[in-house]
């Protein structure tokens, strides 16, 4: 399937919305039309196959501007994204060993609200070298970076072991910039107006430059966070499975970010809220829900979508709906082939497979954006 166009100038829409999702909710379309009505948006808005309602701007929205950045468009978790690593080991691991590994991962890696205690970890000097735009943010960095680097966070963040079609073992990490991205986002959302007003900042002004520079730092921190999480996880997995060497393949993608890109001979600021940049030939990781398959995909660089693809399967139930509608039995059945820390089953309800669309269908909706490369089947999950 390709996209369909939604364009109603009589509703104030300035540019068309191209929709890859086959059945977006009415409220999702309203949010897409709202961002497509803003004065700074150029050419068209693209809605990815997993588009769904969020605060302000729908998750799965991609839009481009000239000389404008929009702090409120991204939400708090700047640089949220995925790391995937192929490990030099077989995925045929007995259940008892997997249970031991996830229990140890749960002890080794702070999850949910947890952070490193006391002085925390040492932070790579390159993450402390550049200034942030205000002293307050620099103080926040000094206080939080060493406590948040290498922590998973909550919600839909997870760490997972997977098996590919050849029986190879993979590690997946879904996490972001933790409290630091949230602090950067909150500061600049205030500077640009209220968090829901979708105010834009001119990139040629101090405020616009400050946001973009702080954003780039938050993206670096998010990537370093996933790297630290993966490193710790590999230490734990390696101790149990005797990993002989380093990962044989590594990929990392942001799915909540702004990037300066060249399109049609112009320099544009492409905003991706829950979407991945996939230039022609570039790989990305599209996770299903926890407990269902994920895919390594290869980008087709389709300009119609600003060279983007979906960041996941997309919610069909809100967190609240998932809690009321998905029974513990149904969840246990859906997760029966996946090992997770004992006693944590209730935590999974909000992220259960039934709360998300089928990933195969979501990939069908974007066959003009990415092709499938590697199917990854989960064998063990640590939930954030």
Partner DNA sequence: ATGTCC
Instruction: Pick the binder of DNA from 18, 52, 146, 147 (CB under 7 A).
Output: 147
Q: According to the binding rule CB under 7 A, does residue 8 interact with DNA? A: no
What are the start-end ranges of the E strands in 75-167?
81-90, 158-163
Nearest to 238 by CA among 89, 378, 108, 380: 89
Phi, psi of 120 (to 5 degrees): 80, -160
Instruction: Pick the binder of DNA from 28, 140, 294, 366 (CB under 7 A).
Output: 140
* DSSP-derived 3-state class of residue 197: coil
Q: The tokens of 275 are what?
A: 């979407």
* DSSP-derived 3-state class of residue 58: coil
Q: According to the binding rule CB under 7 A, does residue 148 interact with DNA? A: yes
Instruction: Pick the binder of DNA from 37, 115, 134, 318 (CB under 7 A).
Output: 115
In the complex, minimum distance from the CB of residue 189 to DNA, in angstroms, rounded to a whole number: 10
Per-residue x/- mask for DNA, residues 46 to 85, rule CB under 7 A?
Answer: ---------x-------------------xxx--x-----
Q: How many residues bind DNA (CB under 7 A)?
A: 24
How close are the terminal C-alpha atoms of the chain, in Å? 34
In the complex, minimum distance from the CB of residue 268 to DNA, in angstroms, rounded to a whole number: 25
Residue with tokens 């107006």: 193
In the complex, minimum distance from the CB of residue 201 to DNA, in angstroms, rounded to a whole number: 19
In the complex, minimum distance from the CB of residue 61 to DNA, in angstroms, rounded to a whole number: 16
Q: Tell me whether residue 60 or residue 76 sits nearer to DNA (CB atom).
A: 76
Q: What is the DSSP letter of 356?
A: B
Give the binding range for DNA (CB under 7 A) out of 62-70, 180-188, 236-244, 356-364: 180-188
Q: According to the binding rule CB under 7 A, does residue 144 interact with DNA? A: yes
In the complex, minimum distance from the CB of residue 186 to DNA, in angstroms, rounded to a whole number: 7
Give the binding range for DNA (CB under 7 A) out of 21-29, 45-53, 145-153, 160-168: 145-153
Give the binding range for DNA (CB under 7 A) out of 139-147, 196-204, 213-221, 259-267: 139-147
Q: The tokens of 44 are what?
A: 């068209």
Cα→Cα distances 283→276, 310, 311, Å: 10, 13, 13
Dihedral sign computed on CA atoms, order 200, 45, 49, 23: positive
Q: According to the binding rule CB under 7 A, does residue 155 interact with DNA? A: yes
Residue numbers 185-244 binding DNA by CB under 7 A: 185
Give the binding range for DNA (CB under 7 A) out of 137-145, 264-272, 299-307, 334-342: 137-145
Cα dihedral value 21, 164, 300, 316, nearest 10: 10
Give the binding range for DNA (CB under 7 A) out of 95-103, 150-158, 301-309, 367-375: 150-158
Nearest to 353 by CA among 375, 337, 368: 337
What are the start-end ranges of the E strands in the chain?
4-6, 17-19, 41-52, 59-65, 68-69, 81-90, 158-163, 168-175, 201-202, 249-254, 256-263, 266-273, 275-277, 283-286, 294-299, 308-310, 370-383
Q: According to the binding rule CB under 7 A, does residue 157 interact with DNA? A: yes
Residues that bind DNA (CB under 7 A): 55, 75-77, 80, 113, 115, 140, 143-144, 147-148, 153-157, 176, 178-179, 182-183, 185, 384
């Amino acid at each position: 399937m390709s996209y369909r166009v939604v364009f109603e100038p009589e509703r104030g829409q300035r540019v068309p919305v191209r929709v890859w999702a086959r059945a977006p909710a009415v409220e999702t379309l309203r949010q897409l039309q709202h961002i497509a009505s803003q004065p700074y948006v150029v050419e068209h808005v693209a809605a990815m196959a997993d588009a769904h309602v969020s605060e302000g701007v729908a998750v799965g929205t991609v839009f481009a501007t000239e000389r404008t950045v929009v702090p409120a468009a991204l939400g708090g978790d700047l640089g949220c994204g995925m790391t995937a690593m192929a490990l030099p080991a077989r995925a045929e691991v007995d259940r008892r060993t997997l249970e031991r590994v996830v229990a140890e991962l749960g002890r080794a890696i702070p999850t949910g609200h947890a952070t490193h205690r006391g002085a925390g970890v040492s932070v790579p000097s390159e993450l402390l070298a550049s200034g942030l735009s205000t002293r307050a943010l620099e103080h926040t960095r000094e206080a939080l970076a060493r406590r948040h680097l290498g922590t998973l966070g909550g919600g839909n963040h997870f760490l997972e072991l997977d098996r590919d079609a050849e029986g190879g073992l993979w590690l997946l990490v879904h996490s972001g910039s933790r409290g630091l991205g949230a602090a950067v986002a909150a500061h600049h959302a205030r500077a640009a107006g209220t968090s829901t007003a979708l105010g834009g900042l001119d990139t040629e002004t101090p405020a616009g430059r400050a946001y973009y520079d702080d954003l780039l730092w938050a993206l670096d921190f998010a990537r370093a966070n996933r790297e630290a999480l993966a490193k710790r996880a590999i230490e734990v997995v390696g101790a149990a499975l005797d990993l002989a060497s380093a990962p044989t393949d590594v990929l990392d993608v942001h799915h909540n970010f702004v990037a300066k890109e060249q399109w049609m001979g112009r320099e544009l600021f492409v905003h991706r809220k829950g979407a991945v940049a996939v230039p022609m030939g570039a790989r990305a990781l599209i996770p299903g829900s926890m407990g269902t398959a994920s895919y390594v995909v290869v980008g087709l660089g389709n300009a119609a979508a600003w060279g983007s693809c979906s960041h996941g399967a997309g919610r069909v139930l809100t967190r609240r709906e998932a809690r009321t509608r998905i029974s513990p039995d149904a969840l246990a059945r859906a997760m029966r082939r996946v090992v997770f820390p004992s006693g944590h089953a209730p935590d999974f309800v909000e992220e259960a497979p039934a709360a998300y669309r089928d990933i195969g269908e979501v990939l069908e909706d974007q066959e003009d954006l990415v092709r499938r490369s590697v199917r990854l089947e989960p064998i063990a999950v640590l939930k954030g």
